[in-house]
Structure 1
Amino acid sequence: MNLKAINNIYFVGIGGIGMSALARYFVANGKQVAGYDKTPSDITTGLQELGVEVHFNDSITEVKQEFLDKETTLVVFTPAIPKSHSELNYFKDNGFKVYKRSQVLGEITKQTTCLAVAGTHGKTTTTSILGHLLNECNAPVTAFLGGISENYNSNLILNGTEVTVVEADEFDRSFLTLSPDLACITSMDADHLDIFGDANELTKTFKEFSECIKPHGKLFVKNGLPLKGITYGVDDNADYSAKNIRIINGSYVFDVKTPSGTHKDFQFNLPGRHNLSNAMIALAMAADYGCPYNQLAKGLASYKGVKRRFTYQIKTEDFVFIDDYAHHPEEINAVHQAVREMYPDKKVLAIFQPHLYSRTRDFVDGFAQSLSKFDEILLLDIYPARELPIEGVTSEWLLGKIENLNKKLISKSAIIDEIKVSDAHVVLTIGAGDIGVEVKHIKEAFSVAS
C-alpha cells in the first residue's frame, strides 16, 4: 500500500481505541478521514470535533461520495467487525484497497524506528509510559496507544514521525505484521483461546513475533519467560531491575539496576507491582533508544496513567472508588495486589463484569480464585462483545465457583444501591465490557455522599 498516494481513509469501526488513534494520525497528516461505528461515544465525539465524518448506520448510502472512489480511498477495518457487515462487504466486493488496522500500522512503522510492546497483559500501560518517556526526552515520536493517556487526554502522542511506539496485539495474530527495531514481551499467559486453541499455540505465536524484529534489533523479555532476550523485572536478578523499593506518600521510590550501573531514587506514582514492572521495561527500552537517565527520572515521575487502568475516581479518607479494565484472572490478581498494598486494613468490594463467553469458559476457575480474594464480590452478567452465548457458560456458573460467601449476582441497575448497603471502604469496578459506562454514575452518586 502506498499511503502517500492515498487521499481518503475510511474506517469501518472508527470508534475502537486502536482505530481512532490511527484516524487521528491520518487527520494530523492531512488526509480526509471518515468512518462508521456502531454507537456514539466520547471517542467518536472527539473525532467529529476534529472534522471527521462519523455515522452509526451500516449503510453504504451514508458514506460520502468522495470516499467511494476506489483509486483515492483506503479502507481500514478491525477484526471486531462482523463478517456480515454490509459496508465492509461492499468495499471488498468492489475492488477497494481494504486492510486490517494492524496491516496499516505495520506499513506506517516500516520507515521508522519502531518500538513495539507485546504481551497478554500490560501492553497499554507500558506503551503509554514508553511514549510519554520518549516525548519527555524530546524524541521525534508518534505513539499509538490502546487507551486514553491521562497526560495527553488522547490515545495518540504526536511529536514527530521518525520514531513510532505501538502496541503489538496478539489478538488475531495482528502483531505479525510489524517489523520493530526494539520489542518487548511483558507476559505470555494463556488468553484469546478462541483464536489460538491452546496455550502452546499462543506461545508459538509470540516466538514468531520475536522473529519479526529487524536485523540488529533487540528483544526485551520479562525475567522468567521462555524466550531469549534482554531481561527486566522487579527486585530480581534481571538485566534491568527495580531495587530498594519503598512506598513514600503513596508512590513507589526505587533504584534502577542496569547492565552499566545503578541509578538512584526514581519515583513512580501508579500502585501495583505489575505497574512497576511496566515502568521498568519502558525505562529499559527508552534508555536503549538513547534517553539519558536524568530525563527518564523526570518523565517517569510526571506519568499519570491510562484511563480505566487502576484509575482513582474518588479518593477521600472515608471512601475510595477505583475503576480498572482487568478482564483476565492474572490482571485481577494484579489489581488485588495493588489495592491490598495501598489499603492493607480496609474492606474491599469488587464489582466484576466478565468479558466474553469463551474467556469465562476457558478461565472460570482462575476467575473464581482471583475474585475470591476480595472481601465482597458483586458479579454482573457476561458481556458478550463479538460472541454468541455458549450453553452453560453464565455468571451464575462462575458465582457458584467463588469460594468467598460474601457474593451476589446483580444487574447493572442495582450497582449503586448495593454499594450503599455495603460497609466497604474501597470499591472497585473491574472489566473490559460496558461496565465503564456505569463509572460516571457511581462517581456522581458517591462524590456528594463522601
Structure 2
Amino acid sequence: MSALARYFIANGKEVAGYDKTPTGITKSLEDLGIAIHFEDDIKKVSNEFLNPENTLIIYTPAIPKNHDEFNYFKENNFKILKRSTVLGEITKQTVCLAVAGTHGKTTTTSILGHLLNVCDVPVTAFLGGISENYNSNLIINGTEVTVVEADEFDRSFLTLSPDLACITSMDADHLDIYGNADELIKTFKDFLERIKPNGKLFVKNGLPLKGITYGIEDESDYSAQNISIENGSYVFDINTPNGIYKNFKFSLPGRHNLSNAIVALAMAAEYGCSFDELARGLESYKGVKRRFTYQIKTEDFVFIDDYAHHPEEINAVHQAVREMYPNKKVLAIFQPHLFSRTKDFSDGFAESLSKFDEILLLDIYPAREIPIEGVTSKWLLNKIQNSNKKLIQKSEIIDEIRKSKAQIILTIGAGDIGAEVKYIKEAFHV
C-alpha cells in the first residue's frame, strides 16, 4: 500500500491514508506530505477527500469488514478498489514482470527491480519491503516496464496479466483462505493462465509446472555453479541456455536468497539485459529491510532481524545462519503471526524452531484475526523439542538476551516484533 502511495504522489496526486499503528513506513510517507491517521474515525479525513467524484479509495484485505471509515465510503458511493486491482490496472499498459510464490517474493522483486534499474530499463517496481539500496519500496526509472509481487493471498494475483512471471514456491499457506493445499496449487495454475500468450514462465526446479527452470548446482536452464563463499558473499558462475557466465557476486546469506537472485537474473536476461550489467547490478544489491538484515555485526556478537513467518522460511533462515556461523550458538526470538497459521503449521513451526540452540517465544500476533480456542504460544512451546525454550513478553526480550551466552541473536516474525529491533540494537550496540 505504501508503494502505491509513493507512486501516486510521484504522479502528482493528493494522497491520504489510515493505518492501525504508526511505523517507520508511515513516518516516511508523512515526510512526503501524505496525511496519515491512526484512529478509525471519518472526522480524521480531510474534507478534500470526502468528494466521491474525485476520490479513489484503495484498500487491502487487512481492513476488517466492520471498519467505520471503510463502510462510510461504501455507503456514500465512492469508487473503491482493492490494492491488487489497482496494481493490475497500472501494469496493463506496460511490460509486466511478476514474481509469485509463497516465499521469496519480496526479495526476488527487489533484486529484479534493482537489476533493471542498473541496466537503465525504464522501470517502475512495486516492492513488498523497503529496499536497502533505495530506502523505499518503490523504484521509479520510467513507466515502460513494471515489476510487481504477484500475491497469492486472497487470490489477489489473478488481477495481473504479466509478460514474464516466476513461481518461487508453492508451499501450503493461507489455508484460512484456501481451505487446503490443493486449492492453493489450483489458484497458482489459474495465475499461469493470466500470462500473456507470448509470455514466459520461470519456475523453481522441482515444482510441478512447465517453464524456464532455475536452480542451484543442478541441471536447470539457469543455475548457479561453482559456488564459494568469500568475505561473507557468494561467488558463483551462472549456467544459462546461451552459455556460462563467470564470477558473479551476491552478498545476501542463504541458499534461498541465492535462488531468488538466480531467477531475478534469468528474468532480467530474458527481458534483454546484458550479463555484464547484471553482474554489476547483483554485486551492488544490498537487500531488503527485515530480510536477514544485520543490525549488529562484530566478531563476538551478531544481531540479525528477519520477517520469516512460515516454517519453510524459518528453515531457510536457519540454513543461512548455520552456513555463515557454523560453530556459534544461536538464540532465536520468534513471534508467531496469525492464530490460523499457527494452528495449521504448528508441527512445522515446532520442528523448525527446535533447530536453534535457544528459543524465546512471544505471544501470537493476531493481525486481522480473532483468537482460536486452544491455539496459543504456550501450546506451540510444548511442541518444540528443545529444552532451551521459554515463553516471554516483549518487555523481557533484552533481559533474556543478556542472560544468554549465544553469540548470534535472531528476531523472527511478521508481526510487530520488528518494532523491538531498535531497542535491542540500542541495548547491545558496541
Q: Same fold (TM over 0.5)?
A: yes
Shift of 1:98: 0.3
> Which blocks of at least 5 consecutive residues in structure 2 are unaligned?
none
Equivalent-residue separation in structure 1 for 2:254 and 2:393 (angstroms):
29
Per the alignment, residue 310 of structure 2 pairs with: 328
Per the alignment, residue 262 of structure 2 pairs with: 280
After alignment, is 28-37 or 311-320 more displaced? 28-37
| AA matched with 2:4 | L
Equivalent-residue separation in structure 1 for 2:291 and 2:379 (angstroms):
27
Scaled by the length of structure 1, the TM-score of the pair is 0.95
Mapped pair 1:433 → 2:420: no
Shift of 1:73: 1.1
Per the alignment, residue 124 of structure 1 pairs with: 106
Equivalent-residue separation in structure 1 for 2:346 and 2:44 (angstroms):
42
Per the alignment, residue 416 of structure 1 pairs with: 398
Per the alignment, residue 232 of structure 2 pairs with: 250
Per the alignment, residue 360 of structure 1 pairs with: 342
Q: Aligned match of 2:360 in 347, 372, 378?
A: 378
After alignment, is 290-299 or 56-65 more displaced? 56-65
Per the alignment, residue 209 of structure 1 pairs with: 191
Matches for 1:46-445 after TM superposition, within 5 Å: 46-445=28-427
Scaled by the length of structure 2, the TM-score of the pair is 0.99
Per the alignment, residue 34 of structure 1 pairs with: 16
| AA matched with 1:319 | F
Equivalent-residue separation in structure 1 for 2:399 and 2:302 (angstroms):
17
SS in 2 for 1:281: helix
Q: How big is each residue's C-alpha offset from its partner over 1:318-339, in whole Å with a ceiling of 9 and x where there is no partner? A: 1001000000000000000000
Shift of 1:57: 2.0
Q: How big is each residue's C-alpha offset from its partner over 1:353-405, in whole Å with a ceiling of 9 and x where there is no partner? A: 11111000000000011011111111111111111111111111111111111
SS in 2 for 1:358: helix
Q: How big is each residue's C-alpha offset from its partner over 1:227-254, in whole Å with a ceiling of 9 and x where there is no partner? A: 1111001111111000010011110000
Structure 1 stretches (4+) deviating beyond 2 angstroms? none
SS in 2 for 1:241: strand
Equivalent-residue separation in structure 2 for 1:350 and 1:53 (angstroms):
37
Total equivalences in the alignment: 430
Equivalent-residue separation in structure 2 for 1:326 and 1:179 (angstroms):
28
Shift of 1:29: 0.4
Equivalent-residue separation in structure 2 for 1:432 and 1:396 (angstroms):
19
Equivalent-residue separation in structure 2 for 1:415 and 1:52 (angstroms):
34
After alignment, is 234-243 or 65-74 more displaced? 65-74
Q: How big is each residue's C-alpha offset from its partner over 1:95-117, in whole Å with a ceiling of 9 and x where there is no partner? A: 11100000000000000000000
Equivalent-residue separation in structure 2 for 1:64 and 1:396 (angstroms):
44
Shift of 1:61: 2.1
Equivalent-residue separation in structure 1 for 2:420 and 2:45 (angstroms):
32
Per the alignment, residue 6 of structure 1 pairs with: none
Q: How big is each residue's C-alpha offset from its partner over 1:137-185, in whole Å with a ceiling of 9 and x where there is no partner? A: 0000000000000000000001101100000000010000001000000
Shift of 1:48: 1.4
Equivalent-residue separation in structure 1 for 2:374 and 2:284 (angstroms):
47
Equivalent-residue separation in structure 2 for 1:298 and 1:265 (angstroms):
11
Equivalent-residue separation in structure 1 for 2:340 and 2:20 (angstroms):
22
Q: How big is each residue's C-alpha offset from its partner over 1:390-428, in whole Å with a ceiling of 9 and x where there is no partner? A: 111111111111111111111111111111111101010
Equivalent-residue separation in structure 1 for 2:406 and 2:34 (angstroms):
44
| AA matched with 1:116 | A
Shift of 1:89: 0.9
Per the alignment, residue 44 of structure 1 pairs with: 26
Equivalent-residue separation in structure 1 for 2:30 and 2:392 (angstroms):
36
CA-atom RMSD in angstroms: 0.7
Shift of 1:62: 2.1
Identity %: 79
